[in-house]
Structure 1
Amino acid sequence: MKKIVTISVAAALLAIAPLSHAQFGSMLGNVKSALGSGSSGGGDIGARQDQLVRSYVAAGKDVSTANSHLADALGIKAQAVNAAATSDSLSAKDIEEQDKAISANTAAVSEALKSGATLKDSEAKAKYAQGLLFLATGVKKYIGMSSEAQGFTSGLSSISPLQLGKLQAGAYVVKSVPTSVTNLTSVLKSAVDFARNNGVEIPQDATSLL
């Protein structure tokens, strides 16, 4: 029976647009692991998705705020991130658009750190320190989402394939969290190194993640 459910869930996931087979690969592995271990998931999968999305959006908001402070301190321009990104009921497409804007700003900050940007005064240093704190907070939230992501994927073992079309946002978050953690931890390290070299007070939360 478990094999039948696994096949049905896998087939339904592969049929959902717009996410591709590759994007769902990791998620399918988690589903199969949950089924193989006898987990029934439990709970309301919709509620689990809502919580997962809320956590992901909150982490992204912190990173967005960090980018704004860091960009201001470094004298570069950050792109505006849609205010709707603070909603906790976003679709997978909405979250992806939010991520693109945040990623563009993160890349701009990272490039500035590598290209010899300077902090012109004490006010710039204070803004930079604030940015570091928000960046560390965001990274910490992404890292802390692992149990929520696992709960969401485990919950897939107890649902009908017909429900999968409503779970795009959760699927997107599950596949995106590891990449966010890896990329932002690297940026945080560069930002901390820059702070050390420019006499900026470094928040303990920032160094504790490295």
Structure 2
Amino acid sequence: MKRILALSIAASMLAAAPVSHAQFGNLLGAVKSAGGSSGGADVGAQQDQLVRSYVAAGKDVSTANSHLLDALGIKAQAVNAAATSDALSAKDIEEQDKAISADTAAVSEALKSGATLKDSEAKAKYAQGLLFLAKGVKKYMNMSKDAQGFTSGLSSVSPMQLGKLQAGIYVAKSAPTSLSNLTSVLKSAVDFAKTNGVVIPQDATSLL
């Protein structure tokens, strides 16, 4: 009964943000756990890995935004993406996501509104931004297995443990949307580069 109740609560929390991107497959796939260890402990470790991966991907995107906006003559806002602690709360990560999303939206708007690269230095900065954006997108893609293991493991924890797993739950439901949005931005950024004489990193084109 506890298992069914825990799974029901976890499922309702994840349902707030649909997981639809193909890169994440079935988030309720089978999870392998070490023999003799408790389900709660396993899920806690899975959450730590998932949070580390998500924050690291966000840091790359934040760096990408800084380079891209600088190249386009727009000032990026300061984003605290340096922390990669396992102890980050869902609120911490959500606040960081909001700041990163604002800069990403600014990049998208600039690309659509006829922004230009004024010189070779700006083109070089733009190319660096593309490289970091590609790195971030790739990290989101590679989180699939961790997300699957974490969400599947929620079925083995008690309802009381779910309070300590909010960061992982937030990441599991947010990562697919972040990946979808950033893949779209990367495509637009690469298209812009093609028409503005920017050398496009192979890492960027290989993901499209």
What TM-score does the superposition give when structure 1 sets the normalisation length?
0.85
Of 158-167 and 82-91, more deviation after overlay is shown by 82-91
More helix by percentage: 1
Asked if structure 2 preserves the Cα contact closer than 8 Å seen for 1:61 and 1:86, the reply is no
Asked if structure 2 preserves the Cα contact closer than 8 Å seen for 1:49 and 1:152, the reply is yes
Report matched runs for 1:61-100 at 5 Å. 61-82=59-80, 85-100=83-98
Count how many residue pairs are aligned between Structure 1 and Structure 2. 195
1:86, distance to aligned residue in structure 2 (A): 4.0
1:161, distance to aligned residue in structure 2 (A): 1.9
List 4+ stretches of structure 1 deviating above 6 A: none
1:155, distance to aligned residue in structure 2 (A): 1.4
Q: Which residue of 2 aligns with 1:153?
A: 151
What are the Cα deviations for residues 61-86 of structure 1, in whole angstroms up to 9, with x where unaligned?
00000000000000011111125644
Match of 1:23 among 16, 19, 22: 16
Q: Which residue of 1 aligns with 2:22?
A: none
Match of 1:122 among 110, 120, 145: 120
The amino acid across from 1:80 in the alignment is A
Of 152-161 and 136-145, more deviation after overlay is shown by 152-161
Q: Which residue of 2 aligns with 1:172?
A: 170
Residue 42 in structure 1 maps to residue 39 in structure 2:
no
Whole-angstrom distance in 2 between the partners of 1:177 and 1:191: 20
Distance 1:51 1:199, change over 3 A: same
The amino acid across from 1:23 in the alignment is A
Cα RMSD (Å): 2.1
The amino acid across from 2:64 in the alignment is A
1:89, distance to aligned residue in structure 2 (A): 2.1
Percent same amino acid among aligned pairs?
77
Asked if structure 2 preserves the Cα contact closer than 8 Å seen for 1:24 and 1:171, the reply is no
1:156, distance to aligned residue in structure 2 (A): 1.6
Whole-angstrom distance in 1 between the partners of 2:195 and 2:58: 27
Identify the structure with bigger relative contact order (alpha carbons < 8 Å, sequence gap 6+).
2
Q: Please, which runs of 5 or more residues in structure 1 have no aligned partner?
A: none
Residue 132 in structure 1 maps to residue 125 in structure 2:
no
